[in-house]
Amino acid sequence: MEDLLEKNPDSMYKNLMVSRGAPKPSSLAHKEYLSQSCPSVSNVEYPDMPRSLPSHMEEASNVFQLYQRPVCASRKKPKEDADSEYPLTPPPSPTADRSRLPCGKSHFDDSLVHINVFLVDRKHPEFSSRYNKINRSIDVDFNCLDVLITLQTWVVILDFFGIGSTADNHAMKLQPEDTQHMSKSEINTSSASQAQEPVNTKLDLKVHSLSLVLNKTTSELAKASVSKLAAHLEIIDGDLALQGSIGGLSLSDLTAHGEFYRERFTTSGEEALIFQVYKYGRPDPLLQRECDVRVTLRMASVQYVHTQRFQAEVVSFIQHFTQLQDVLGRQRAAIEGQTVRGDER
C-alpha cells in the first residue's frame, strides 16, 4: 500500500503497508534425505597390511559397513503405487509431502491472508441442531504485515472509509420543537429496524506477526510488535464473548534520544497475554446480573522502562491524531450541509 501524499519516490516512508512471508524453517534441521553412500573416510581405521607387495590379498572387512543406514521395516516393502511421482532409484531430491499439507495452504508462506466465510440461512432445517444458530462463521488467518502510521495520511484513509469520523459530533442537535415534525413513518421505520433479529457471528482470527511504526514528520517515534495473536469471537443474541492469546508483545523507542533505553516494553514466555472478555448485550433494568462486562487478563513477565520524555511524545502523537480527525470532521459536516458548532471554550 503506497502513500501518494509522499512526494519523494525514494523515501523510505513511501509504503504504508507491506506484507511479507513467514520465516521458513531452517533446511538444516531435516537431514533424513541426505545420502550416506559416500561417507567420510578421514577417521576410518584401516587394517594393518604389509608395505611390500604381498603374494596374495587377504579379504578385509568392509570399512563402510558402520556408515550404512539401517533399513527400516517400512522400507523393506516399497509401496506399489501406480501414481507415484518419485522413482525408487536413484533417490529423488527432497520435496514437500503433499499429503500432509492442508488443502489450500501449500503456498501460505507467500500469502498475506486467508479468509473463509460460511453463511447459514436461519430457515435451514438444521440451523439449531447442527450449526448452533450461528449465521456467520468467519476464519481469518493473517501472515506477516508491517504498517507505517503517518498522521495526515491515515486520518484521510480512515475518514474515506467512515472509520472514526467525527462529522456527526460537530452537527447541531435538533431542538425539541424540531423533533416533533418527524413523520410517523420515520419512527416506524427506525423501530422496525431495531426489532430485527440479531445475526449470530463466530470469528476466528490468527495473526502471525504485526508491527506498527509511528512516524512523525521528521523521524520515527516508536515501533509496536505483536506476534502469534489468536482470538475467538462469538456474538450470540447480542452477547459478546471474546477470548484469545498473544505470543509476544514489544514496544521500542525509535527516537534519537532512545539509544540508551531502546526496548520500552518487552514480555517473556510463550504466551505474553491471555485475555477473556464477556459483554452482555441485552438490557438489565432490574439489575439482576452482577456486571455488564467481565474482563479477565493474565500476563506473563513484563519489563517496562519509563521515561517522561518518551511518554510525552507518544501522548502528543495521539493528541495530534485526534485533532486532525476533529478538523476533518468539521469540514465533512460543513460539506454535508450541517450546522457546525463553534469551538467550545
Residue 285 has what pLDDT? 87
Spatial CB neighbours of 322, under 8 Å, sequence gap ≥ 6: none
DSSP-derived pairing of the beta strands 293-299 and 273-279? antiparallel
In angstroms, the Cα distances linking 31 to 68, 109, 279 are: 15, 22, 51
Let me know if 208 is exposed, middle or buried by CB neighbors in 10 A (0-12, 13-18, 19+): buried
Let me know if 163 is exposed, middle or buried by CB neighbors in 10 A (0-12, 13-18, 19+): exposed
Amino acid (one-letter) located at 123: K
* Spatial contact of 242 and 232, defined as CB atoms under 8 Å apart: yes
Residue 275 has what pLDDT? 95
Give the CA count within 13 Å in the CB-facing half-sphere of 47: 9
Report mean pLDDT in 10-residue bins for the chain, 345 residues: 87 87 56 57 58 60 58 50 55 52 49 90 88 91 90 88 66 52 52 65 92 89 93 92 94 90 90 93 87 93 92 93 86 73 54
| Residue reference for cell 511518554 | 311
Residue 254 has what pLDDT? 93
Residue 50 has what pLDDT? 59
133: which 3 cell numbers? 444458530
